[in-house]
Every structure is written in C-alpha cells, then in structure tokens.
Amino acid sequence: MMDKQITLIKNNDKKDWTDLEWIREFYEFMQGENPDSIKTRSLDISKSDAFLIIWYLQEHFPVLPDNIEKCDSCSELFDSNSEGYYSEDRGTHFCECSATEEYYIDNQ
C-alpha cells in the first residue's frame, strides 16, 4: 500500500496508521498538541517551521514519504497521491479544502 511506506523500528502503541496519520500527529506534536502517551512539556513550533522539519525528513534525511504535503491555504497536511493539487505557477500545494488560488492566504 502506498499510504504505508513508513517502516517503524518499534510500535509501542500498536497503531495501524497510514503515513498521513503518523506525520499529522508529528506535525501537531511540534505545534504543542501531545499525543496521550507523551507526557512531556509541549513544543511551540509554528506550522511553517514544523513542516520545514518534516520536509527535511522527506528530502534531506529521507525517512518520511514525500507525498505528504502541507496545504498552502489551510495549512492541513494531505496525501498528494490521493487528493489535492499542485500549482506550478505559484509552486503551491492545495488540499481538498474549499481553497482555490483565488482564496490563497499566505500562512508562512
């Protein structure tokens, strides 16, 4: 299955998650939303910085699949293999939210 490329070294929570679910949890964790099993202080990383870290783990130190993109309108993550589109003109990614380029909001 293309939506499960991540290979875990261990899976303490026995979660049967798609790549999108794992990366979305990591994205939210970096922004301060800890999963129930993580009892540490919360991080406070911006959406754009959090996705820059994900991008590093996709492109430079490739442990995460690079088909997970951040919508440049609503900032939600999505699997570009199954939804959304890429605007070559602007170099922007959009999920299936109501956004179109006319409603483009720069969240950076």
Question: Binding residues for Zn ion, per CB under 5 A?
Answer: 71, 73-74, 95, 97, 99
Cα angle value 9/7/15 (rounded, 5°): 80
What sign has the CA pseudo-torsion 61, 62, 65, 66? Answer: positive
Rounded Cα gap, residues 8 and 18, in angstroms: 12
- Closest to Zn ion by CB, 68 vs 95, is 95
- Closest to Zn ion by CB, 20 vs 71, is 71
Nearest approach in angstroms of CB 30 to Zn ion is: 19
Nearest approach in angstroms of CB 51 to Zn ion is: 13
- Closest to Zn ion by CB, 57 vs 97, is 97
Residues 6+ apart with CB under 8 A from 84: 69, 71, 78, 93, 94, 95, 96
Nearest approach in angstroms of CB 106 to Zn ion is: 13
